[in-house]
Amino acid sequence: MQTRLFIGGEFVDSVDGDTIDVLDPHDGSLIAAVAQAKAADVDRAVTAATKAADGWSRMAAADRGRLLLRLADAIEADAENLALLECRDTGHPIRDTRNLDVPRTAATFRYFGGMADKFQGSVVPVEAGFLDYVVPQPLGVIGQIVPWNFPVMFCSWKMGPALAAGNTLVLKPAELTPCSALRIAELMAEVGFPPGVVNIVPGYGPTAGQRIVEHPQIAKVSFTGSTAVGMGVARDAAASLKQVHLELGGKGANIVFEDANLAAAVGGTAFGIFHNQGQACIAASRLIVHESIAEEFLERFIALAASIKVGDPKDSGTEMGPLTSTAHRDRVLAYIDIARQEGGEVLTGGTAPSDPALADGCYVEPTVVRVDPSARVACEEVFGPFMTVHTFSSDEEALRIANSVDYGLGGGLWTTNLSRAHRVARDLRAGMVWINSYKRVNPGSPFGGIGRSGYGREMGFEAMREVTEPKAVWVNVDAQLPPFYPRG
């Protein structure tokens, strides 16, 4: 396991030698002491990225793509090692890191490897005698700040399009979960990425992250994390007129209509809220269920929630692991106390598990709370295995509840009425909507939100536009222009 910074194609110590203790959230044991980047280390990384920028941007797009395809192959070859590393680092159950996180990471690098020589410019029909063509050009050095909830997957979401388009990178993984990003760096070096194209600098937000945001040679910052921090990123980046992409919080509305396939809705809702212990910006954190089926739905759903096997994430039978840190577990438990204080009814869960084998870990039981839609816990992002329940009597009321929060990332609905499905999808305030499913992602489908969920998009052609800027080139082919000033 690499524990040093990756700068200029080499693993190096931080300038002052400080480290970050990375802990296993299952039992609090030490996984590794990883080098802690500070401002001076970010400066070294930016220098390396700047030096590599011209060569990388001028490399044939197909050759950049081939390196990304080789990286995807290398990730698949290293899949079991990466899956275990991600499991220990984050608390994701090993069945999830094997079957979702690592395969999605490889698939994203493969998608953008194929995209590299297919992202085209255009020709604009202008006046006779002129050719006007528009080409997408890389921005230069891009700073990327990755969160702790899906670290290996988000590395590919941010790196893939930026590299395919010809940018170089300085990426800061979260201090809680830096290990998989450093392993990706190792694999990049092995498959032949030129030195300096990608630089990995684990560190804390107020030091390494802040320097990335402020550095004058970084053309754009792509940040995924909380809304509060994202607002600070946007404010501080403005000082250097730096472009910003923000993928922030969410409070997903999940509407179950009276004609829904109940079994599918129960299972899909459980995946939507409890996958990765609810630590997902697109989690189905607000269940909005029609009053005529609410009791039957909740009876089934609560039974399913109570049956989820919570335990050691390294056990292949575990269905829900620990939250990623002690501080975050305490935050989620505090929100459960808030729900009770607001008069909420805890229908299941609401505590840490009683199993003594889990006492040293960051565990919270799958929790369902019935509260008013205006309650704090129904409006603020909890980011854990915590779902609020609300009922409605009409489509209009369902939409009113769904759109009553400031977030607008993802939302879902369950119905067999085709007209209703499209109408409600149109009227939901969200960047992504799932119909009769929840939380599906694909490298070709744009991912991002509106409102307090941020702006800009990951994935697909939209992601390539995020990391390039169009340059218009005018060519006078045979236009005979009269002199504008006749005396010239």
Predicted confidence at residue 486, as pLDDT, reads 86
Whether 281 sits among the annotated catalytic residues: the reply is yes
pLDDT band at 299 (very low <50, low <70, confident <90, very high): very high
Nearest residue to 364 (alpha-carbon basis) of 479, 279, 242:
279
Range 407-419 burial, b when 16+ CB lie within 10 A, else e: bbbbbbbbbeeee
* HSE of 66, CA atoms in CB hemisphere, 13 A: 7
487 confidence band (pLDDT: 50, 70, 90): confident
* pTM (2 d.p.): 0.97
State whether residue 107 is helix, strand or coil.
helix
Q: How many CB atoms neighbour CB 470 within 10 A?
A: 11
Catalytic residue among 86, 175, 247, 381: 247
CA distances from 470 to 92, 113, 120, 138 (A): 40, 21, 11, 9
- Using an 8 Å Cβ cutoff, are 303 and 288 in contact? no
Give residue 314's pLDDT: 97
- Mean pLDDT, the chain, as a whole number? 97
β pairing state of 198-200 and 386-392: unpaired
Task: Give 225's Cβ-side CA count (13 Å radius).
Answer: 21
CB 144 within 8 A of CB 161: no
Q: Which residue's structure tokens are 């769904």? A: 402
114, 90, 100, 165: which is closest to 135 by C-alpha?
165
Over residues 76-103, the mean pLDDT reads: 98
To the nearest whole percent, how much of the chain has pLDDT over 90? 99
**Cβ neighbour number for residue 31 with a 10 Å cutoff:** 17
> Is it the case that residue 488 has pLDDT exceeding 70?
no
Cα–Cα distance measured from residue 84 to residue 102, given in angstroms and rounded to the nearest whole number: 10
* Pair 91, 25: CB distance under 8 Å: yes
pLDDT at 33: 98
Measured between its terminal Cα atoms, the distance across the chain in Å is: 71
Taking 70 as the threshold, does the pLDDT of residue 456 lie above it?
yes
Residues 232-286 pLDDT 10s: 999 999 999 999 999 999 999 999 999 999 999 999 999 999 999 999 999 999 9
Q: Please report the pLDDT score of residue 135 as a whole number.
A: 97
pLDDT of residue 143: 98
The SS3 assignment for 320 reads strand
- Per the rule left: phi > 0, alpha: psi between -120 and 50, beta: everything else, 24 is beta
Q: Which is the catalytic residue, given 87, 155, 179, 281?
A: 281
Indicate whether 423 pLDDT > 80.
yes
Question: Which domains are assigned to the chain?
Answer: 5-248+453-473 (3.40.605.10), 253-435 (3.40.309.10)
Of 203, 226, 80, give the one whose Cα is nearest residue 143.
203
> Residue type for 430, please?
A
DSSP3 helix / strand / coil % (the chain, rounded to 5): 40, 20, 40
User: Is 155 annotated in the active site?
Assistant: no
Place of tokens 């080499």: 10
pLDDT tens profile 109-133: 999 999 999 999 999 999 999 999 9
Q: Is the pLDDT of residue 319 over 90?
A: yes
